[in-house]
């Protein structure tokens, strides 16, 4: 083998392994298009009702990774991302992921019909007065906060996402460890 061929062989081998090694050091939040929250503040406590009138607190999910999603049935980007949210939920619900979808100021009947019609099984809560949305500074829909197992805010995503994409599942798997 001459030196010219050896150089190309080395470049080829490096190019095969470079993407994997570059990815290993990559920030999983950035790769998923999710803003990482600095300082990891505790999630702001709240209690809301389900469509059936049961009170649920965000603290009820301590020990789980929570995707706290704010949405409305009239919001096209919200409707776009919900099938992928359901896929993500089905894949990881038994491993410690909870999706909590807080509906912004719509009635229980409207939300219940929407959830049933689309076959969504993740938790839906009613923010009837918009109080919790105000506490979380929701000014755009959809918006999702990611809460780690210790109840700390670690991520924020403004706008719709493909929640079942490989970059997001990589992040979820890391958070679930």
1 and 45 share one domain: no
23 and 40 share one domain: no
74 and 156 share one domain: yes
Q: Looking at the 3D structure of the chain, how many domains does it have?
A: 2
Please check the confidence at residue 51 and state whether its pLDDT lies above 70. yes
18 and 96 share one domain: no
Please check the confidence at residue 21 and state whether its pLDDT lies above 60. no
By CB atoms closer than 10 A (0-12, 13-18, 19+), residue 174 is exposed
- Is the CB of residue 63 less than 8 Å from the CB of residue 101? no
Lowest mean pLDDT: which of 9-18, 29-38, 70-79, 168-177? 9-18
117 and 50 share one domain: yes
Please check the confidence at residue 107 and state whether its pLDDT lies above 80. yes
Q: Are strands 65-71 and 97-104 parallel, antiparallel or unpaired?
A: parallel
Sheet holding 97-104, edge to edge: 35-36, 153-158, 143-147, 65-71, 97-104, 123-127, 47-50, 55-57
52 and 138 share one domain: yes
- pTM for this model (two decimals): 0.84
Instruction: Read off the CATH number of the domain in which 48 is found.
Output: 3.40.30.10
For residue 5, give its domain range. 1-27
13 and 72 share one domain: no
């Amino acid at each position: 083998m001459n030196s010219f061929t050896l150089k190309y062989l080395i470049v080829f081998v490096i190019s095969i392994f470079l993407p994997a090694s570059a990815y290993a050091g990559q920030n999983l939040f950035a790769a998923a298009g999710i803003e990482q929250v600095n300082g990891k503040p505790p999630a702001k406590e709240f209690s809301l009702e389900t469509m059936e009138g049961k009170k649920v607190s965000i603290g009820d999910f301590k020990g789980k990774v929570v995707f706290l999603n704010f949405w409305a049935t009239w919001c096209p980007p919200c409707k776009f991302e919900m099938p992928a949210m359901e896929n993500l939920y089905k894949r990881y619900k038994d491993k410690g992921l909870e999706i909590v979808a807080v509906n912004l100021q719509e009635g229980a009947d409207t939300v219940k019909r929407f959830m049933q019609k689309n076959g969504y099984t993740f938790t839906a809560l009613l923010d009837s007065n918009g109080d919790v949305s105000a506490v979380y500074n929701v000014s755009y829909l959809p918006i999702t906060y990611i809460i780690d197992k210790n109840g700390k805010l670690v991520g924020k995503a403004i706008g719709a996402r493909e929640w079942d994409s490989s970059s997001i599942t990589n992040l979820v798997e890391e958070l679930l460890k």
